[in-house]
Amino acid sequence: MEFGMKIRLLREEKHITVKHMAELVECTPSFISQIERGMANPSINTLKKISNALGVALVHFFDEEDPLTNNTEKYIVRKNKRKKFKSVMENTDIFLLSPSDIESKNIEMHLMVVEPGGKSDKLYTNPGEEVGYILKGKITFYLGNEKWELEEGDSIYFPGDIPHGWENTSDTEAVTLWAVTPAILRAGESLVLGETIYSASHKQ
């Protein structure tokens, strides 16, 4: 099921009007309507606000193939069964590499593919710790008031409460691998609102 349809069904189930949803998400009612009809694609930030308003985890809106039927494979994520979220606004695809239905897990892994020109909509914060590794290409990573140029083979660690974001200024896609603890897509990640990613000092 498309995530726009999921949003509409959950909204109607909770008796939330389009106007009230727009107020909760801080956008226009027409934008909510366009998202639900598949005519607009929200940023990861906007989808987080929607998931918070509807009381569900962000991962609920990730695409996935048919669910696993073999319980012995609950610890395995096959490459054709990864949950995926595509943020057209940020030109970024996020794949969940760890099982989403094990509530007791304390770590999560993501594969993030950022196309040329892709960048985070805002700076993020979360209550955990993150480690990232650049598998392919290069990416500009914003951390607090600084920014770093990371290339293939580079890695980075940081506490999640430091505002952070990314940007691909190159002409090729960047593929990055992330480990996060605790699992933020289950718990919900917070935002640093009103902060741009262009006020950082450059590091290399």
What mean pLDDT is predicted for residues 48-68?
A: 71
Percent of the chain with pLDDT over 90: 34
Segment of 7-21, 69-83, 95-109, 157-171 carrying the highest mean pLDDT:
157-171
Q: What is the pLDDT of residues 141-190, one digit of tens each?
A: 999 999 999 999 999 999 999 999 999 999 999 999 999 988 776 544 44
Residue 204, number of CB atoms within 10 A of its CB: 8
For residue 31, give the amino acid letter: F
Q: What is the mean pLDDT of residues 73-77?
A: 80
Has residue 68 got a pLDDT over 50?
no
Which band of pLDDT confidence, cut at 50, 70 and 90, is reported for residue 70?
low
Class of domain 71-203: mainly beta
What number is the average pLDDT over the span 114-142?
93
pLDDT of residue 74: 77
Give the DSSP H/E element, type plus range, for residue 6: helix 3-13
Q: Where in the chain is the domain with CATH 2.60.120.10?
A: 71-203
Query: 3-61 has which fold?
Result: 434 Repressor (Amino-terminal Domain) (1.10.260)
pLDDT score, position 185: 66
- Geometric angle at alpha carbon 97, from 91 and 102, rounded to 5°: 125
Q: Where do you find CATH 1.10.260.40 in the chain?
A: 3-61
Exposure of 125 in the CB half-sphere (CA atoms within 13 A): 10
Please state the rounded mean pLDDT for residues 23-47.
86
Mean pLDDT of 30-41: 87
Return mean pLDDT, the chain.
82
67: three-class secondary structure by DSSP: coil
**Residues sharing a CB contact under 8 Å with residue 71, sequence separation 6 or more, in sequence order:** none
- The rounded percent of the chain whose pLDDT value lies above 70 is 83
